[in-house]
Amino acid sequence: MPLLSGLKPEFAMPLYKIIDHNPTTRILIWNITESFEQLNQEVQLNEKNQLRLNGMKSDMHQRAFLSVRKLLTLADYSDFDLYYDEFGKPHLHSENCHSEFTEVSITHSHHFSAIILSNEPVGIDIEMQRDKIIKIAHKFVKDGELNRLQKRNHTEYIKKLTIKWGVKEAIFKIRNEKGISFKDHINVQPFELNEQQAVANLHFNGLHRQYTIYFSELDTNFTLVYTMEPQSQTPKQ
């Protein structure tokens, strides 16, 4: 669907990108340039989310939260089509009969926010590439893998660590299960940056799933990662 061509002028600028990944999966990314006041004027929230917004301490968090609603509007949804489960995972109300999609995932990082809409369970993450990821790398990457990665140059090392983190967040967002350890249960197979995709395995509670992961750069130092739940379960290993 040629969404971009149908954009109202006020959407054109902060809408950073739309990726039609396949006929049933769409990613929309917002570059947050508006003030809180502007966004707040343009977005209508349901009662629960209004309370959440009011309780947010940071202006950037509030703007990100509101910008996600701008993205929903672009895809013909509104905040009233969304609800959160007890863990904080967002869902679309199934009774929305105009709905093209059944699943949603949300991310925001600094001046970017994004949603992914699909008919498969989906997870999305945007991360800023930062040196400080090195300090926590041992918490989410196994030692052997970390040793291999450290042999790469500094920039590649940071970018790959950021992708790995994003992969684990995205899979976690799909599964939404207590007890998943990023380090012990999710493994990302070796990949090259120019491949823009990778394979990750989740081994958790007797379940084995293999995910194809898609990654790319936003501006120069933000990483976008998304994935979908595989349609059929691969055999246990």
The CA–CA distances, whole Å, from 152 to 52, 128, 146, 156, 188 equal 42, 19, 10, 6, 17
| Interaction pattern, residues 18-37, with ligand COA; x per rule: CB under 6 A | --------------------
| DSSP-based three-state secondary structure for 194 | helix
Q: Establish if 65 lies at the interface with ligand COA (CB under 6 A).
A: yes
139 binds ligand COA (CB under 6 A): yes
Q: Is 73 in the site for ligand COA (CB under 6 A)?
A: no
The overall longest dimension of the chain from CA atoms, in Å, is 53
| Three-state DSSP class for residue 62 | helix
Q: Is 108 a binder of ligand COA (CB under 6 A)?
A: yes
Among 16, 125, 161, 162, binds ligand COA (CB under 6 A): 125
What are the E-state strand segments in 33-121? 82-84, 90-92, 103-109, 112-118
CA-based angle 118:126:146, to the nearest 5? 115
| One character per residue 44-63, x = contact with ligand COA (rule: CB under 6 A) | --------------------
Region binding ligand COA by CB under 6 A among candidate stretches 13-21, 83-91, 141-149, 189-197: 83-91
The CB-of-161 to ligand COA minimum distance in angstroms stands at: 12
